[in-house]
Every structure is written in structure tokens, then in C-alpha cells.
Amino acid sequence: MKKQDKLIKTFVRIQYAALAQRAGSCCAPEATSARPEGAASVEQLYGKEKLASLPEGATAIAAGCGDPTALAELKPGEVVLDLGSGGGIDCLLAAERVGPRGRVIGIDLTPEMVEVARQNAAAVEAKNVEFHLGEIESLPLEEASVDVIISNCVINLSPDKDAVFQEAFRVLRPGGRLAVADIVALGKLPTTVRGSMASWAACVAGALEKEEYLGKIQAAGFEVTGITETPVNLKGIRVASAKIKATKPF
Ligand SMILES: C[S@@+](CC[C@H](N)C(=O)[O-])C[C@H]1O[C@@H](n2cnc3c(N)ncnc32)[C@H](O)[C@@H]1O
């Protein structure tokens, strides 16, 4: 791994460990603490009704920019992988959708996040979901072993997005689906933003423009089947929240 990539990942891990620790503490975070300034609220992303079955520990720490479980149109019995599962909100929603015959696997590189996600799963006695420490650039899974991959506001944080999409393609079964919510750049970001570690951890500095992002998904072998974009202002920078669907051809 390149030295700069290692630095980025270490910085990202430290930032998300701090968030997980604040969320796990009885005296700290208000529900808004996981949301970057300018981001939509958790209720806006998911709708109040959908959140009703989740533990407060999962909604308070949610740091996504969409609802990939809705995008993925999950079915009972499916095996789902969440790239960068954080506090587990999307894994828990996916677990409800796939039911007892299905299975949900969350992967995250921050040990504190994995711990919080496990506590949240235990709080609702979810038996069909598991959380593992790991990196989305080298997934600890067998090839063609999952039906659907979801991810929510994570891939922008990776310094090696080619590896992420190649790994996603490897572990997905032929005909399997990829459903991603992520931040994309609208035009060229200022170099001061690109070079800032804090902006990287805030899901801004690592954001690619839509065409480059889609190019990487296609280069890994996927067929892109849909994309929508909603402009957002994150920390004063104009970016967009993108919802992308793709499939692995048979
Ligand atoms: C913005 S949060 C989103 C968490 C979750 N998807 C959600 O919607 O609440 C980003 C998460 O991705 C994890 N992450 C960042 N880079 C990663 C990588 N390269 N491999 C695995 N996890 C990563 C972080 O530890 C953090 O939990």
C-alpha cells in the first residue's frame, strides 16, 4: 500500500473510532453528531416509519448519504454484504428484508464501529447479521459468495477505489447486484480541499466526479443500470449524493 493511502486510512479510522466512542458513551452525542454539516437528516434519508424498529444506537450513529437497502430491492433469503457498515443501520434494515433464510455481513475497518454495530444487532436480537473487521479493498470473503452488495457513503473514503470495485466484483455472484449511495464531486474540487485529511474524513476530499466513478465501476466488469444525483452542500463544498445501481453480468 502506498504511504499516502496508509495515512489516509489511518486518519479515517481515527475519526470514525472517535465517532463510535462518542456514540457509545452515555453522556455524549446528540443524534446529529454523526451527520456532517449540510447533510440530510437520518429521517429524511430513510423515513421515520422505517427507523421505528431500529435501536437508537444505530440511528444516532448513522453517517450515510442515502438508503441503499431501498435501492437494492432486497428479497427474502438473499446474502447481503455492506461495505463500510459503520454502526450497522443498513445491515439491520437489510436483515429485516432478507429474513431468517437470508444473511447480512457488514465489513468495517474501524474496530470501535464493529463493536457498536454488534451491540446494536444484539439490542434487537438480530440473528442473521454479522459484523467483521476488514478493509473493503481486500474483502475477507470467497468469490461469488454474495447476492447483493450495498454501501452507504464509504467508497469516497477509500484511497484505492479501483481495488474496492474489483473486490466487489469478485465476491458478488454472477447476476448479483451492487447498490451504492455515495458522495460524488460536482466539478473540480479546490486543491486545498483535496489535500485536507479532515475533508477526506468528512466524505468530501476523496469524492470523484460522476464519470470517473462510473468508469471505475465499469472497468471492474459491472454493468451500470441506474444513477441519480442530488446536490448537497457539505461543509460549504458543493457535491452530490449519488445513488448508483449496477449488476455483475452472467
Ligand atoms: C461515513 S461512515 C458510513 C457508515 C455507514 N455506512 C452508515 O451509513 O452509517 C464510513 C464508514 O466506513 C468505514 N470505512 C472507511 N474506509 C473504509 C475502508 N477502506 N474499509 C472498510 N471500512 C471503511 C469507516 O470506519 C466508517 O465506519
The answer to whether 241 and 232 have CB atoms below 8 angstroms apart is yes
Read off the pTM: 0.96
pLDDT, position 25: 53
Average pLDDT per block of 10 residues along the chain, 250 residues long? 92 96 55 63 94 95 96 98 98 98 98 98 97 98 98 98 98 98 94 91 94 98 97 87 98
Closest ligand 1 atom to residue 20 Cα is 27
pLDDT, position 34: 66
**Closest by Cα among 83, 78, 240 to 150:** 83
User: Which of 108, 137, 149, 165 has most ligand 1 atoms within 8 Å of CB, for mutation?
Assistant: 108
203: containing domain: 3-247
Return the DSSP state at 88: S
CATH classification of the domain holding 157: 3.40.50.150
Domains: count for the chain: 1
Q: How many CB atoms lie within 10 A of CB 93?
A: 24
The answer to whether 138 and 171 have CB atoms below 8 angstroms apart is no
Residue 63 Cβ < 6 Å to ligand 1: yes
User: Which of 14, 16, 92 has most ligand 1 atoms within 8 Å of CB, for mutation?
Assistant: 16
